[in-house]
Structure 1
C-alpha cells in the first residue's frame, strides 16, 4: 500500500530569514504563511503514517500554479524524492530539484530549489506517493495552507536582480517613503506608508492578478508583470484597484489627499473586490510601489515637475489662441483630446533586465499607472527603458515616445492666422519648460522636517537642458514619430522687437496678497503699441482651470529702448473662496505688438502654502505598549471647516485610523489625540493627514523611537 502522508511542513519562519521575507506579517501570524523567493533553496519536512522505504516508496512533491498547471508552461514543478541521489543545486537552474537532508523513520527533511523564472503569487503544494512497481496505487496529500513565491532581486539570474544589492534595503524592503508633489517652486516630499509587508497586501495582489487577464505562464516575466500592474492599479478598463478623479468631488469616497498610504486602499480592494475611490497620480504611484516591492521588484517613486501630457504624439504641448488673444477651448488638430501641462506628474521606475532590447537598455524602467492615454487599447504605460527615454529611442517597447514627451516636449503656442496654410501661426516655442526637475527619494535618508532626502535624477532621463545632446535625443525621437515631424518642420519664430518677462512668484502663504508682473523692454528704435492681458486663476494640479480669480486687459505705447512693468494686484479675498484641492494657482500673460504682430505668451504655476500637522510624540516610548500622541494645527481660513477627518497610520505602529473632528471655526486650533503601539524596538514613522470640505491636503510626519522594556 502506498505511503499515506500525514503532514507537510514548510518551515515558514526559518526559511523567511534566509529568503529576506521575514518582514511579511503573514509569515509571523499565529498560523504562518510561507513567503519564498524564487531562485533559492528552502527546507521542507514530510511525515508519513509509516516508515519510508527507499526501495519501494515513490515520493514526489508537486508545486502547482493556477487552474491548469503544466511543467512546459512553467506553472507546475515536480520534485522527485530520491535519498540515493543528490543534485548540485545552483541558483540559475530552470528546473525544480530537491535533495534529502535527513531520513528518519516516518519523516523526511528536504531542501528544494524553485527555478528563478517561475510565476509569482499563490502556489499550491501536493505530496504524491506510490509504490515502485505499481502506479495504480497513488495517494495524494494536499497542503491546506497558502504558499507565495515572489521575485528574488538578490539572485543575479533573476531578471529583477539589482547589482548594488545594498540599495534593495531601500527599493524592496523600505516600508515608508516620500512622494514629491506640488509645483516647481513649492514642491515637497509627501510622506507615504507603502506597507508592502502588511497582511492584506499579497492577497490583494493575488486578486489583482486573477482579475488582470495576464496568463499564468506570463506572471514570472517582470516585463509583462509590471506592464500589467500599470494597467490594473487604475480601474479605467478593468476591475482595477483605484478610481481616478481630479475634480474635487469626492463625497462618495475618500479624497486622494486624505490617504496616508497604500494599505487601507489594498484592504478595501480586497474586502469589496471592487475598485476603491479615489486616486490621483501620486496615489497610483504609491500603490504601485507597494505592489512591486511586495513582489520583490525593486521600485522607486518618480516625480516630474512640469510634466507634459502629449495627447496626439507630436512631442509638443500645443495651445491655440484666436485673433483676439483668447485661448481656444479645444485643439483644432486633435478634436478627440487635448495636450496639457501638469504642475507635476508621478510615476514609477522598476528595475530589471531587458532581454527584448539591445544591450545597455536594462536597469530602471518607467511604468505609469495613471490613466492618461491608451497603449495597445488599454490604459497602461511602460515599462519604458529610462536609457531609451534619454536617447529618444521611440521605436523600443513600451511607450518610450509618450515618456519622452512627458519629460522633454517642446511647449508651443499657436495663434489664428488666416493667411497661413495651416490657419495658425506659431507664436511661441519654449524648449526648456517641460521636465524642469525629476525627483525621487534619496536611499537611506528620511528628512522629517524638510526635503534634504530628495534626489534629483533629471540627468537619468535627459541630458542637460539646452545642450546639444538633449536636442539630438529629442530630434532622434522626432525622426521616429510621423506626427512630430510635421510640427517641428514649421520653422522658427519671427524676429522679436520687444522682450517680455513674466516674473515668477516666490512662496505665497495662504491669506497673503500677490501681484502678477510682466516686465517689457523695447529693443527697437521705434514706438510700439502693445495689447496685453494678465490673469490669475486657480487650477487643479493636472492643469485644468478651476476659477478665474482676476484679469485685466489693456493697450499702451512702449517708447524706444524703454523698459516698463505691468502689474495685476490680487488680494487674498479674491482667491480664498476659489481655491481647489492643493491650492494651486496659475498666472498667465499674453501680449501682441500691433504693428509687427509679434505675440508672446507665458505662464507660471505656484502653490499657496498651507500649514502642516504638528505631531507631538513622547520621548520615552516602550515597544509593544500603547502610547498617546497628539496632532494639531491652526485653521488658516476665514471660514468654518466642516466634515473634518484625520487619517493616521504608520508601519508597525497602527493601521490606518480615521478620527472625526467637530467643525472648526476660523483661526481656531484643530487638535486630536490617539494611541499607537510600536510592534518592535527601533525608529518608526508616523504619517497623518487632515481633510475637510473647505480645506484639504494638510499633512505631517513624526519619528517614533521605541525602546525595549527594561522590566
Structure 2
C-alpha cells in the first residue's frame, strides 16, 4: 500500500466556486469557521487534491473520485457519480454522467474541473477519493472528505428542468430575500411584508431534515415535479410529525407563535431545526412564505400567489354550493356532502414554481401551482400540485396534479339552493354567480418593492383563467366539467326561470376600525303588480377561511312594494356592536336573503369586507452607518377602547438584524405608543426592515420601511 498515492487534502475552492454557481449569498459559504461548498448541477467546479507522497502520473497511478448520495449510492439510480482521472480531455461527455478534466499538475498536487450532471439529485453529497496503481488495481487507498457538499437545482442552465429562459427574473424568483404576500378581503387586500431569508445558515439544513423525513427516494430528488409535490406535503405537518408547520385557525395560539406575529421564514426554519418538531403555528400565507423560502434555497424559481375570494370545493363539483332552509337561513352543513362542506375563503395563498413538465404534453410547462395548506387529500396525503397554470386555464383536469381542485379555487360557480319539498332533490337552485370566485389573483411584481403602497402588485389573473364574462371562460369551465362526473350532475341542473324582481347587495370594500358601516340591499319591483317581500340581513365576524365566528347583528322585515318601486333595505352597525366580536384579520361577512310571497322567487347573496387596523410607524434616520448600532423607533395608536396586554413587537431584516421580539408594557385604550430598538447593519445599500405587533386583544398589525446603509 505504501506506493499508492495518499491524499492529504481535497480543496474545493468554496468561495470561488460559489461565485460561479451563484451560491455566494449563502451564510454557509461565508462562515469563516466552517465553510460549506454549495454547488449547482449542470455546471463545472474546481477541485484541487494534494498528496503527501508524490504527484499523479497518468498510466501509473489510478485515481477515482466517488460522489455519493444517500445511504446506498448507485450509478444506475444517479445517486453515485464516478470520475476517473486521466490526462486525456473528456469531450462531448454524456450530460447524464459525471466527468472531470485535469487543469494542472504539480509535484504533489492535481487541479481538476468536475462537471455535475444537470439531472443530479439535489441534497447533501459526500466525496470519496480512491487511489491505487494501474499495476495493482485491487490495492486501494480511500480518502473520505469530511465536508458535506450541497448540490442544488440550476435554473440558469438550459438542461436543467427548472431552467427559466428569462434569466433576469431569477434575480427575483431565486435571489430576492424579501417579498410581499397579499392578504385581506377583495377591495382591501394589502401586501404583507415577508422575509424569505433563503440564504440563512439554518435554512438548507432544515430543508434536508424535511426532505429526509418525507421518505422521497433519493433517486427521485432530482425531479423537480416530485420534489415540488413533496414540498407541498411536508411544509405542513398534517400527515405526520415530520413537517415544518402546524396549521391552526382557532384564534388561540397560546401554545406557540400566532401566525400574524411571524415576520418571515427564518425563525420558523430555525425552530424546526433546533427542536426537530413541527412549529406552531401557520396559516395559508405562512405556509406559502415558507414554501418560497424552501424552493428558492433549493434553486426552484418560486413566487407567492394570493387568490382573492378563493373557493374550497369539498366534493369535486366545480361549484361552491350554499344551502338555505325554508326561512332563508343558511344551513351549517352541506346536506349532500356530510363529510365536508364547500367554503369560500376571503383570500387564499399558495405558490407558483417554474419547471418543465416532461410528464405532460408540450405547452404545459412553465409556472405550476403548488399549495402547502392542508385542505383536501390528494393520493392519500395533504398535498397539492404541481398543477400547470396552462392546464388550469384550459380546464384540462385530466393532467397531473390536482388541476381540478385548482380550477375550482379560481373559477368555480357559486350556486345557492333553498329547501324545496316540491323538488326531486329536496332543494331548488335559486341563484348562480359565475363571477364571484377568483376576483383577483396577485403576486409581487419583479424588481419592485413599495413599503407604503401597492406599486409592487402584479395581477396574474389572466394566467389562471380566461377573462370573466367571455365565451372562452365558459368553455374552459365546461371543459373541466366534462372531466368530472360529480360536476356534470350539478351543472346539469337548470337555472331558475327569469323572475320579475331584482336584488343587489352593495359591496363594502373596507371599513376603518372604529367606524360605523351599513349593509344595504337594493330591491326593484319590475312587475306591474304589488309584491310582498320578506327580507333578512345578517352580519357575522368570520375567519378568513369563511368560517363563522360570532353573530354581530341581524335584521328581518316584511313589507309591500308597489309596481315599479325601488327600495333600499339598510342595517347600520356601530363600533360598539362589532369591536368585541372581531376575530383575527378583522373579516366580516354579510348575508342577505329575500323571498317574494306571490311568486316564490328567492334570492340570496353575501359580501365580505375587512375592518382595517392601523399600521406600525417605523422611524429611521435618512441614512444609517454600516456595522454601527443605530436606534430606531416603532409605534402605533391603539384603536380599541380596550387595554392591550402581553404586547410584543417583532422585527427582522436580512442584513440588519436577526428576528427578535421586543416586549412592551400594557397599552391603554386609544393610547399612542412608541418603543426604541437598535439595529447594526451588516451590509450596505438599500435594506428592508419588517415589523409586526401582537397582543392578546389585537394582532395582525404590520409595517415595513426601506433603510439606506452607507
1:459 is aligned to 462
1:586 pairs, out of 577, 582, 589, with 589
Corresponding residue SS for 1:429: strand
Unmatched tracts of structure 2, length 5 or more: none
Is 1:403 the equivalent of 2:417? no
- 8 Å contact from structure 2 (residues 310, 409) kept in 1: yes
For 1:531-582, what per-residue CA distance to the aligned partner results, in whole angstroms no more than 9, with x for missing partners?
A: 1001111100000000010001111111100001111110100000001000
- 8 Å contact from structure 2 (residues 4, 132) kept in 1: yes
1:169 pairs, out of 163, 168, 171, with 171
Is 1:632 the equivalent of 2:632? no
2:215 is aligned to 213
- 8 Å contact from structure 1 (residues 438, 456) kept in 2: yes
Taking the TM superposition and a 5 Å limit, the aligned residue runs for 1:186-265 are 186-238=188-240, 239-265=242-268
Corresponding residue SS for 1:388: helix
Taking the TM superposition and a 5 Å limit, the aligned residue runs for 1:642-653 are 642-653=645-656
Give the Å deviation of 1:704: 1.2
- 8 Å contact from structure 1 (residues 50, 105) kept in 2: no
Distance 2:18 2:628 in 1: 26
Which deviates further from its counterpart, 190-199 or 124-133?
124-133
- 8 Å contact from structure 1 (residues 178, 441) kept in 2: yes
- 8 Å contact from structure 2 (residues 509, 610) kept in 1: no
Is 1:686 the equivalent of 2:693? no
Is 1:565 the equivalent of 2:573? no
Is 1:78 the equivalent of 2:82? yes
- 8 Å contact from structure 2 (residues 42, 117) kept in 1: yes
Give the Å deviation of 1:494: 2.2
- 8 Å contact from structure 1 (residues 317, 410) kept in 2: yes
Which deviates further from its counterpart, 55-64 or 438-447?
55-64
2:154 is aligned to 152
1:68 is aligned to 72
Distance 1:672 1:117 in 2: 51
2:492 pairs, out of 489, 502, 515, with 489
1:103 is aligned to 105
For 1:233-261, what per-residue CA distance to the aligned partner results, in whole angstroms no more than 9, with x for missing partners?
A: 00000210000011101000000000000
Is 1:332 the equivalent of 2:335? yes
Is 1:419 the equivalent of 2:440? no
Give the Å deviation of 1:471: 0.2
2:502 is aligned to 499
For 1:248-295, what per-residue CA distance to the aligned partner results, in whole angstroms no more than 9, with x for missing partners?
A: 010000000000000000000000111000000000000000000000
Unmatched tracts of structure 1, length 5 or more: none
- 8 Å contact from structure 2 (residues 519, 590) kept in 1: yes
Distance 2:483 2:139 in 1: 64
- 8 Å contact from structure 2 (residues 83, 100) kept in 1: yes
For 1:207-256, what per-residue CA distance to the aligned partner results, in whole angstroms no more than 9, with x for missing partners?
A: 00100010000000000000000000000002100000111010000000
Distance 1:444 1:206 in 2: 29
- 8 Å contact from structure 2 (residues 431, 495) kept in 1: no
Give the Å deviation of 1:671: 2.0
After TM superposition, the score normalised by the length of structure 2 is 0.98
- 8 Å contact from structure 1 (residues 632, 669) kept in 2: yes
- 8 Å contact from structure 1 (residues 389, 401) kept in 2: yes
Give the Å deviation of 1:89: 6.0
Is 1:387 the equivalent of 2:390? yes
Distance 2:394 2:642 in 1: 51
Give the Å deviation of 1:620: 2.7
Distance 2:630 2:146 in 1: 39
Distance 1:620 1:476 in 2: 57
- 8 Å contact from structure 2 (residues 430, 495) kept in 1: no
Give the Å deviation of 1:669: 2.0
Q: Segments of 4+ in structure 1 off by > 6 A? A: none
2:481 is aligned to 478
Which deviates further from its counterpart, 41-50 or 624-633?
624-633
2:528 is aligned to 525
Corresponding residue SS for 1:246: coil
1:622 is aligned to 625
Distance 2:434 2:83 in 1: 60
Is 1:542 the equivalent of 2:545? yes
For 1:298-339, what per-residue CA distance to the aligned partner results, in whole angstroms no more than 9, with x for missing partners?
A: 001000000000000000001111111111111111100110
For 1:608-652, what per-residue CA distance to the aligned partner results, in whole angstroms no more than 9, with x for missing partners?
A: 111000111112312222221110001110000011111100111
Corresponding residue SS for 1:622: coil
2:658 is aligned to 655
Corresponding residue SS for 1:211: helix
1:56 is aligned to 60
For 1:40-87, what per-residue CA distance to the aligned partner results, in whole angstroms no more than 9, with x for missing partners?
A: 0000111111112333211111111110111100001011111x2111
Corresponding residue SS for 1:124: strand
Distance 1:88 1:625 in 2: 53
2:472 pairs, out of 469, 472, 476, with 469
Corresponding residue SS for 2:187: helix
Is 1:667 the equivalent of 2:670? yes
Distance 2:152 2:658 in 1: 24
Corresponding residue SS for 1:629: strand
Corresponding residue SS for 1:184: coil
Distance 1:140 1:78 in 2: 14
1:318 is aligned to 321
**CA RMSD in angstroms, aligned pairs only:** 0.9
1:15 is aligned to 17
Give the Å deviation of 1:486: 0.1
Corresponding residue SS for 2:659: strand
Is 1:695 the equivalent of 2:695? no
Give the Å deviation of 1:506: 4.0
- 8 Å contact from structure 2 (residues 623, 707) kept in 1: no
Give aligned pairs, total: 705
Distance 1:381 1:45 in 2: 44
- 8 Å contact from structure 1 (residues 299, 349) kept in 2: yes
